Amino acid sequence: MSANATISQNPLLIGKGLPPFADVKPEHIVPAMTQLLAELDSELSNLEPKVTPTWSGLVEPLQQLVERLSWSWGIVNHLTGVKNSPELREAHETVQPQVVQFWNKLGQSQPLYKAFKALRDSDAWESLESAQQRIVEAAIREAELSGVGLEGEKCDRFNAIQLELAELATNFSNHVLDATKAFSLTLTTKEEVDGLPPSLLALAAQTARDAGEENATPENGPWRITLDFPSYGPFMQHSTQRDLREKLYKALISRASSGELDNTPIIDRILQLRQEKANLLGYNSYAELSLASKMAPNVEAVEALLEELRQASYDAAVKELEELKAFAASKNAPEASDFKHWDVGFWAERQREEKFAFSAEELRPYFPLPQVLDGLFGLVKRLFNATVTPADNQAPVWHPDVRYFQIADETGNPIAYFYLDPYSRPAEKRGGAWMDDCIGRAKIAEDGKPTTRLPVAYLVCNQTPPVDDKPSLMTFGEVETLFHEFGHGLQHMLTKVDYAGAAGINNVEWDAVELASQFMENWCYDRPTLMGMARHYETGEPLPEHYYQKLLAAKNYMSGSAMLRQLHFSLVDIELHHRYRPGGNETAADVRNRLAKTTTVLPPLPEDSFLCAFGHIFAGGYAAGYYSYKWAEVLSADAFAAFEEVGLDDEEAVADTGLRYRDTVLSLGGSKPPMEVFKAFRGREPSTVALLRHSGLATTASDAA
């Protein structure tokens, strides 16, 4: 039976509740979205002539209309990220232009725009709550940034740009996924896998079996190494075979930069279209357009912060590299005199092992995923008085490894739910880690009765999967990533705002949104949190004290290099979207290489095409916004400092501070400007002092606020 014949049973048209993942097939997408968009189009046409400038006559009906589209299209987008396939791609590409066209039409609706402005100017304005006012103000700004003021040819051109940009972003992302998947290294001799830890040998053998090598074993191979991070990262840290490290490194940095998957022309086209879009809306650059809806007041303020941090980290990074070369020389390594990018990870890991007497691999057995989750949930209870429990059979999932959990308040009432999709699946799931909104909190009417719809989050990681009969044994870095994404999740789930447009992460300025996630990472080093979850998966033995001390000691190892790397990405992003003009004397790669002179200590190789895989800014939401990680890290470090100031071992004070953080940062969502929210928690504006201190860079920089 064709999907068309069963349109009434199409799972993508239910429009509310948990997504029925078990029932959704790629062939449902085109008929469902075609029908839904036609219905919404007609609803919009009916709403426009009779819209009234009141909350119930404007915002509520519009919210319902938007949510129906977000529900169905959100499922499609989610599946493209976690269960990508040729059939899904084709369906997505078929309907994406219609979805973009509908959003354009909605954003450019003159009757709705005029009604929002009339509401803002009306007597009723003062009686609206701050969350409602922020939603109205955001809607007006959004309409203006969506081209509501454009007419005739300019409007047509703007819409054509929006359409093309959406298509380019999808193609960019698919190229990176395909290029990552296309490369693998099959190793067959003991010499080729020299130095590799047992956990990687087991993963590489399992990957080889999945690729058809039926008899692959961790002991005898063959072993398959991929560009997927759980494979690539440990290989670069531990392989003694310099030529293989070079091969793998060059494969990673040249992803999606040649042949059919070449993203170079896509990058130029995206930057060209973004600049044209900004000009149409009256901005000098796309960076100015991007900042119009962010916390940072202007490009100068962003660059001033990045420059302050660059000065604090550059000399430290230079010194770190010199120390690394000297260390390699002390071990009589031939590469010490000709140190290359593929040597950094390997020698940094050897130096760390010697300096702090432990390796990242030694800690893995102490961090099995189930225990790490127990530790994370214990922290949520301790700080926010909320209880997390499994609710696995209560929701359909898209893969057998996906878990489902409930969060309850102090009285035991459910307040939120979340999915956790923890493991890497390079064949169908994009890399990285992210949190996304499945269902947002809102006051709604159900069968005529008012009720609170509870939020549901997607938490997606790409950590080491369980291998053979062992659970997922996590690196400490993977533990930090999980805590980071859970921080985003908490802001979505612990919100107290009842208006969908400002609940959770909605309407939170983009450069403040990483506050809640980066804040959680600090707790990975907190003694009760870490010791509460770190137990050997076989013996149950707690993490020995000396390891905890070493972890603390190693916390700021190479921190100058780590910060400089983030600043390199942030400054390249801003430069490409502010001063760079495609088609001039410089290419995008030239811009990156020019900035690399002051933001890297090992200049990029000639074949380094990192930009071709920089999905954050070319296929994600971070265009002219990558600086947000650093901007928000100033806030998150300062927020964590509030706990340090009351004493991390004073349980009562930690709990009180945790509840204050919950009632401000986590619960107010987008109902107030982020600076107001921060000041409500901290009692003052943020300062960079805590960030530089936490990074071990405070001594090399002035304590400028």
Continuous segment of H or E residues that includes residue 673: none
Res 3: pLDDT: 44
**430, 89 Cβ separation under 8 angstroms:** no
Res 1: pLDDT: 38
Contacts of 649 (CB under 8 A, 6+ apart): 527
Res 445: pLDDT: 86
Continuous segment of H or E residues that includes residue 437: strand 434-439
**505, 488 Cβ separation under 8 angstroms:** yes
Contacts of 574 (CB under 8 A, 6+ apart): 287, 299, 302, 303, 306, 624, 626, 627
Distance separating alpha carbons of residues 3 and 95, to the nearest angstrom? 15
Distance separating alpha carbons of residues 466 and 370, to the nearest angstrom? 11
Distance separating alpha carbons of residues 92 and 24, to the nearest angstrom? 13
**526, 551 Cβ separation under 8 angstroms:** no
Contacts of 203 (CB under 8 A, 6+ apart): 230, 231, 464, 465, 467
Query: Cα-atom radius of gyration of the chain, to the nearest Å?
Result: 26
Residue 662 DSSP code? I
Mean pLDDT by runs of 10 across the 705 residues of the chain is: 56 95 96 97 97 96 96 97 96 96 96 98 97 98 97 97 97 96 96 97 96 95 96 97 98 97 98 98 98 96 96 96 97 95 97 92 95 97 98 96 97 98 92 95 91 97 92 95 98 97 96 96 95 95 94 93 97 98 94 97 96 96 96 96 96 97 98 97 95 82 34
Distance separating alpha carbons of residues 475 and 244, to the nearest angstrom? 23
Distance separating alpha carbons of residues 352 and 564, to the nearest angstrom? 19
Distance separating alpha carbons of residues 571 and 307, to the nearest angstrom? 9
Res 698: pLDDT: 79
Continuous segment of H or E residues that includes residue 453: strand 449-453
Rounded to whole angstroms, what are the CA distances from 569 to 47, 249, 339, 593, 596? 44, 18, 23, 12, 10
Q: Is 413 helix (H, G, I), strand (E, B) or coil?
A: coil
Please provide residue 224's backbone torsions phi and psi, each rounded to the nearest 5 degrees: -110, 120
Q: Which residue has the tokens 């506050």?
A: 515
Rounded to whole angstroms, what are the CA distances from 649 to 135, 179, 531, 630, 645? 40, 48, 13, 28, 11
**417, 454 Cβ separation under 8 angstroms:** yes
Distance separating alpha carbons of residues 426 and 584, to the nearest angstrom? 37
**485, 372 Cβ separation under 8 angstroms:** no
Continuous segment of H or E residues that includes residue 258: none
Secondary structure in 3-state letters for 326-381: HHHHHCCCHHHHHCCHHHHHHHHHHHHHHHHCCCHHHHHHHCEHHHHHHHHHHHHH
Distance separating alpha carbons of residues 135 and 500, to the nearest angstrom? 9
Long-range (24+ apart) CB contacts under 8 A made by 295-303 are: 295/509, 295/510, 295/511, 295/512, 295/631, 295/673, 295/674, 295/675, 296/511, 296/627, 296/631, 299/574, 299/578, 302/574, 302/627, 302/631, 303/571, 303/574
The 10 Å Cβ neighbour count of residue 493 is 25
Q: Is 110 helix (H, G, I), strand (E, B) or coil?
A: helix
Closest CA to 703 of 312, 178, 118, 243: 312
Continuous segment of H or E residues that includes residue 167: helix 152-182
Going by DSSP bridges, is the β-strand pair 414-423/456-463 parallel, antiparallel, or unpaired? Answer: parallel
Distance separating alpha carbons of residues 24 and 657, to the nearest angstrom? 44
Domains of the chain (ranges; CATH) run 4-149 (1.20.1050), 184-255 (no CATH), 267-357+559-623 (1.10.1370.10), 365-499 (3.40.390.10)
Give the Cα-Cα-Cα angle 416, 422, 424 (nearest 5 degrees): 150
Res 699: pLDDT: 56
Continuous segment of H or E residues that includes residue 633: helix 628-646
Q: What's the chain's length in residues?
A: 705
**142, 281 Cβ separation under 8 angstroms:** no
Q: Is the peptide bond before 197 cis (omega within 30 degrees of 0)?
A: no
DSSP 478-528: HHHHHHHHHHHHHHHHS----SGGGSTTTT--GGGTTHHHHHHHGGGG-HH
Please provide residue 15's backbone torsions phi and psi, each rounded to the nearest 5 degrees: 85, -5
Q: Amino acid letter at 43?
A: E
Closest CA to 461 of 422, 403, 517: 422
CA of residue 98 relative to chain centroid, distance = 26
Distance separating alpha carbons of residues 529 and 534, to the nearest angstrom? 9
Contacts of 112 (CB under 8 A, 6+ apart): 47, 48, 51, 58, 62, 106, 139, 143
Res 234: pLDDT: 96
The 10 Å Cβ neighbour count of residue 454 is 17
Residues assigned a catalytic role: 485
Secondary structure in 3-state letters for 201-223: HHHHHHHHHHCCCCCCECCCECE
